[in-house]
Amino acid sequence: MNGTGTQDTHSVIVVGAGPTGLLLAGDLATAGVPVTVLDKRPREISNLSRAFVLHARTLEELDARDLADRLESVGRPLENLQLFGRLDLDLGGLHSRFRHVLVIPQYEVEKALLERAERAGVTFRYGTEVTRLAQDADGVTVTVAASEKDSGKGSGKDSGKDGKDSGAPAPAPAPAPATERLRAAYVVGADGLHSTVRKSVGLPFPGHAVIRSVVLADVRLAEEPEALLTVNATGKAFAFLAPFGDGYHRVIGWNRDRVVSDHAPLDLDEVKEITRLALGRDFGMHDPRWMSRFHSDERQAPAYRVGRVLLAGDAAHVHSPAGGQGMNTGLQDAANLGWKLAQVVHGRADDALLDSYQAERHPVGGAVLRSSGGIVRLAMAHRPWSRGLRAAVAGVVDSVAPVRRRATGQVTGVGYRYPAPRGAHRFTGMRVPDVALADGGRLYASLRGGRFVLITPGAPETAAHPYDEGRKDRLAVEHWASDRRTAVLVRPDGYVAWASDSADPAGVEAALGRHVG
C-alpha cells in the first residue's frame, strides 16, 4: 500500500477475521497473493465461542494445511454424534482419516488459523470498519474507518453483566474517525450475519428466525457430565453442554414457555431451569462468566458473487446450530474459493473460474440450511404427531443403511460432490479421501502448500514424466500405491478436477494446461 492508501490491484481484501476469513487469507498468502484482512474487532481472540465441533471434511481440509494434527492434540474426538433423543450418528464407518467429530472450541481453531495466516505474510488491520464499496472493471475500492469499538465508543451489552453508573460525567463524543480508501482486485466478505460487504453490493438476505430466545452461558459444573457432548430435547425444552477445556462448559438452551427478547435479562436460575427441563439435572452450575440470548436465523444470499465481490461463511448463509455445521460450512467455502482466486489473480485462469464457486457452494449452503433446519424442528417437536415423526425419522436413520450414510455424509461434509461438466469422467467433482501414494506418503500431505496433485498409474521409476515442469510451485506429481489405472488430477481443496482411464501424456498435459495453468 502506498502513501495514498491505494493498494496493488493484484491483491485481495478479506473482510472479517473469523475462521472463514482466516483460512481464506492464509490460503491466498500461501499462494503468493498479497492479502489484507480488515476486522472491526480488536486484535484479541474472544473465547465466547458458539462453534464447538470440527467435522471430518473440515478436518481433511485442515490436514491439507498441516493444522489437523495440532487441533486433534487440543480437542477431544467423539465417534458418535447425538442430534436429539435417540438419533445419533456412528462416525466409525466414515471413509476418512477422521472417523469422528472433534470437540474443540472455535477460539482454538481461530488461533491456529491466525498463526498460519501471519506466517504466510497476511496483513491484518483490526479496529477497521468497512463503510463503503465501489467496484469497476479493474478492481474494488474499499472505504474504511476506525471502528466504534476501536475509538473507545463501544460498550458491552451482554446480559448478566452489572453495568453500574459511576456518577462521573459522560465523556465528550469522540470526533468522527478519518476515512481511508483501499484498492484491491477482489474483495471477499466473511463478515458474518450482518455483513457490510453483502449490503454494500445490494444483495438481499432472505429468510427468517427459526428459533428465538436461545440462551448461552459459560459456567462451571459441580458434577461432570458422563458424555463429552451432552444434548437432549423434550417437547418443552432442549439443552446442549460442551467443555471449553479450561474448567468451564458452554450451555446452549431453549425453553418453549420462555420466549422473550434477545435483550431480556438472563440469570443463572433460568439457565439451570432450562437444563433441568431438557437434561433432567443442572449438574450443579455455578460461577457464570458470561450469559446472553440470541435468535437463530435461516438465511441465504441468492448469489455468492457480484462482480469482483464474493461472500463466504455466515455472510453468505446462516442456519441453526443443530448438527454443528455452521463454522464447518464456512471453512469449506474458504477452501473452495481460495485456490480459485489465486489462479485468477495470478492470471493462470479466466475470471469465469470464480463462477464455479457459486455453482459448487451455493447448493451446499442450501442443503445445510435444510438439514440443520430439519434437525432443530424435530428437536423442538412437542405435539404427539410431531414427536411420533421424530421417532420414525430416528428409526429410519438408524436402521436403513443408505439413509444413514446420506445423513452422516451431509452432517460431516464428506458426502457432498460438485457438479461436473457434461461428458466429464465419472470421478469429476468427487471428494477424494486420503489415499496412500506409492512413495509411502498420503494425498492430503501432498496437497499442502495449496498445490494440485496429479496421481498417475505406475511406480515412480516407470512412470516418470515431467508434468510438473514449470509448475512445481503449484503441482505435485504422485503415483497410486495400488494398481489403479486411472489418472486423477486433484484440486487443492481435495476434489477431482479431471480424470481419465487412459493416462496418455497428451491428454494429461492438456488437462494440466486447462486446470493448473
The answer to whether 195 touches 315, Cβ cutoff 8 Å, is: yes
Give me the pLDDT at residue 209, please: 83
DSSP 458-492: S-TTTS---TTTTTTTTEEEEEBSS----EEEEPT
Helix then strand count (H, E) for the chain reads 12, 24
82-101 confidence digits (pLDDT tens): 665 566 778 888 899 999 99
* Fold topology of 207-298: Alpha-Beta Plaits (3.30.70)
* Neighbour-count burial for 268-304, b at 16+ CB within 10 Å, e otherwise: bebbbbbbebbbeebbebeebebbbbbebbbbbbebb
Please report the pLDDT score of residue 395 as a whole number: 52
- In this predicted model, which residue has the larger pLDDT, 376 or 100? 100
Report the percent of the chain where pLDDT is more than 70. 83
Polymer length of the chain: 517
Asked if the domains at 12-52+105-151+179-205+301-367 and 443-515 fall in one CATH topology, the answer is no
Output 156 or 316, whichever has higher pLDDT: 316
Lowest mean pLDDT among 34-38, 227-231, 337-341, 493-497: 227-231
Asked whether the predicted pLDDT for residue 62 surpasses 70, the reply is: yes
CATH of domain 12-52+105-151+179-205+301-367: 3.50.50.60
Total-model pTM: 0.89
Q: Where are the alpha helices (DSSP H) in 285-354?
A: 326-345
Instruction: Say if CB 359 and CB 212 are below 8 A apart.
Output: no
Distance between CA atoms of 59 and 411, rounded to whole angstroms?
Answer: 13
pLDDT given for residue 407 in this prediction: 76
- Ramachandran class of 16: left when φ > 0, alpha when ψ lies in -120 to 50, beta otherwise: left
Question: Residue 418's pLDDT band (boundaries 50, 70, 90)?
Answer: very high
- Average pLDDT score, the chain: 86
Q: How confident is the model at residue 7 (pLDDT cuts 50, 70, 90)?
A: low
Q: How far apart are CA 200 and CA 505, in angstroms?
A: 48
Q: What is the mean pLDDT of residues 399-421?
A: 81
CB 511 within 8 A of CB 424: no
Would you state the pLDDT for residue 208? Answer: 86
Q: Which CATH architecture has domain 443-515?
A: 3-Layer(aba) Sandwich (3.40)
pLDDT band at 154 (very low <50, low <70, confident <90, very high): very low
Q: What percent of the chain has pLDDT over 90?
A: 60
CB atoms within 10 A of CB 448: 16
Question: Which residue from 198, 232, 224 is spatially nearest to 283, judged by alpha carbons?
Answer: 224
User: What is the residue extent of each domain of the chain?
Assistant: 12-52+105-151+179-205+301-367, 207-298, 443-515
Let me know if 469 is exposed, middle or buried by CB neighbors in 10 A (0-12, 13-18, 19+).
Answer: exposed
Q: Is the pLDDT of residue 229 over 90?
A: no
pLDDT of residue 161: 40
- Checking if the pLDDT of 47 tops 90, the result is no
455-503 pLDDT, tens per residue? 998 755 555 567 877 888 899 999 999 888 899 999 999 999 999 998 7
